[in-house]
Amino acid sequence: MAAATALPFLAWARESTSADAAADASAKKLGAKNVLNVRDFELLAQQALPPAHFGYLATGIDDDRTLKRNEAAFGDYEIRARRFADLTQLNTGSSVFGSRWPLPIYLSAVSSMRAFHPDGEAAVGRAAASRSVQMMLSSGSSVSLERVLSERGGPVWQQLYPTDDWSVTERMVERAEKAGADAIVLSVDTTVTHEVRNSETLKRATRVDTRPCSACHKDNRHDMWLKAPLFAGLDVSRVHELTPPNMTLPWLRRLRDRVRGKLMVKGIVTGEDASLALQQGVDAIIISNHGGRNEETLRATIDCVPEVVAAVKRKVPVFVDGGVRRGTDIFKALALGATAVGIGRPHGWGLAAFGQEGVEAVLDIYSRELQAIMRQAGTPKLADITARSVLPRRA
C-alpha cells in the first residue's frame, strides 16, 4: 500500500454522531443478533476492516452515484397497506427451479471474501446452509468451490467470469459442473477493462492504508485468474481480461451449448437485452448493475424490473440485486415482478463484523422485516404480492 496521504478523509466513511457510534459499539458488544438493521452492519464492518479491504467492499465507480441510486430508488415506491386479510398463516417461502426457498433472497457473488474474514466464503456457505438460502459463488472466490460446497452441504450457483480465452471458459464450466454447482451464472456487465475501471473509492482507501499488503496476500493485482482457486491448474497464459471483448449473442449461444445445467445471465438492465438472452436459451435473467461497481449510469436496478419483467413474460425467473437493505425493498421488488432478490454488500458486512453469525443475522433481519411488511400489506404469502401492492410515489 502507498503511505498515508494528505487526502481528505475517505468519502465513503459514513458520517456518524457520537451517539450513533456509542450505539454501534454496544451493538458489537451485544453480538450479531442485537444489531438493529442491515445498514448498521456497514459501520461495524468498517470498524472491523483495514481501510483498503473496506474500500474494496464499499466502492462503486466514479462518484458512486449509481451505487447510491440503487438504494435510494426503493424510496420512490409506496406500498399499499391492505386490511382484513387472514394472517393466521404467514409464509415467505416459494419454489425456485423446483427447490423450496424459505425466503425470496439469495447471497449474490462477492469475490475475495477472505479479505473480510479469515473463513471467507466457507463461513458464507455455512450461513447459507443454516438458513437454507441459495448462494452464488464468485469466480474470484478466495475459498475453493469444492470446500464451499462441502460447507454449504448442497449445491451453489457458480458465477462465471469467462475470460477472453475460450479454452479457459470451457475448463471453468467443466470444473464447476463436475464439483456439483447446479447453475452457471454468466456476468455480462463487466465490459469495462481494469485499466479504465475507475473504482475511485477503493483507490482513495488504498492510499490511506499503510499496512504492508504482503501480510495477507502476495500483491494487489486485479488479475483474478492468477490467484483465485477456480483458475488453479488452468493454463491462463493467454488470458488478458475477465470478460471477452466479443461477448456477443453467438458467443452466448456457444456457452449455452456448452453448459449442461442451468445458465443464467447476470447484469441485464433492459427489456431488449433480456429478450435477446432468452432467445439464446438462458434459464433466468438477473437484473444487476454489479451494485454500481462497473458503470455510472444512474439507473437503479429496481427501476429496470418492470421493463425486464414485461419482456420476459414469465418464461423464466427474473432476479434483481442492488441496494436491497430492508424487507420492504424485497416486497417492492416482488411486487414489480421479480422472483427473488440478491444481496451483495450486506452479507459482506455481516461476515466482516461477526463471521458466519453476522451473515445469519443479516438474513434474519431481512426475514423479520419481510414478514412485518407482508402482514401490514395483507399479503400472507408471496403470491399475494402483486403489481397492485405498490405505487410509484407522486412527485
Q: Which stretch binds ligand FMN (CB under 6 A): 97-105, 135-143, 167-175, 211-219?
A: 135-143
Residues 58-97 interacting with ligand FMN (rule: CB under 6 A): 70
Is there binding between residue 104 and ligand FMN (CB under 6 A)? no
Residues 329-368 interacting with ligand FMN (rule: CB under 6 A): 342-346, 348
Q: Largest alpha-carbon pair distance within the chain?
A: 64
The reply to whether 290 belongs to the active site is yes
Round to whole Å and give the CA distance between 292 and 290: 5
Q: Which stretch binds ligand FMN (CB under 6 A): 29-37, 134-142, 232-240, 332-340?
A: 134-142
Which position's Cβ is nearest ligand FMN? Answer: 344
Round to whole Å and give the CA distance between 142 and 82: 46
Residues 297-326 interacting with ligand FMN (rule: CB under 6 A): 321-324
Is the separation of the CB atoms in 183 and 260 below 8 Å?
A: no
327: which DSSP letter? Answer: H
95 backbone dihedrals φ, ψ, rounded to 5°: -115, 125
Is there binding between residue 229 and ligand FMN (CB under 6 A)? no
**Cell numbers linked to 228:** 483465485
Round to whole Å and give the CA distance between 289 and 305: 12
Output the smallest distance, CB 112 to ligand FMN, in A: 7
16 backbone dihedrals φ, ψ, rounded to 5°: -140, 145
Is there binding between residue 55 and ligand FMN (CB under 6 A)? no
Q: Cβ closer to ligand FMN: 31 or 118?
A: 118
Is there binding between residue 282 and ligand FMN (CB under 6 A)? no
Output the smallest distance, CB 360 to ligand FMN, in A: 17
The site for ligand FMN, by CB under 6 A, has a size of 27
Residues 161-200 interacting with ligand FMN (rule: CB under 6 A): 187
Q: Is 358 helix (H, G, I), strand (E, B) or coil?
A: helix
Residues 14-53 interacting with ligand FMN (rule: CB under 6 A): none
Round to whole Å and give the CA distance between 186 and 84: 44
Output the smallest distance, CB 134 to ligand FMN, in A: 13
Round to whole Å and give the CA distance between 14 and 32: 20
Based on the number of CB atoms within 10 Å of its own CB, is 74 exposed (0-12), middle (13-18) or buried (19 or more)?
buried
Name the residues that contact ligand FMN, by CB under 6 A: 56-57, 70, 108-111, 138-140, 159, 187, 266, 288, 290-291, 293, 321-324, 342-346, 348
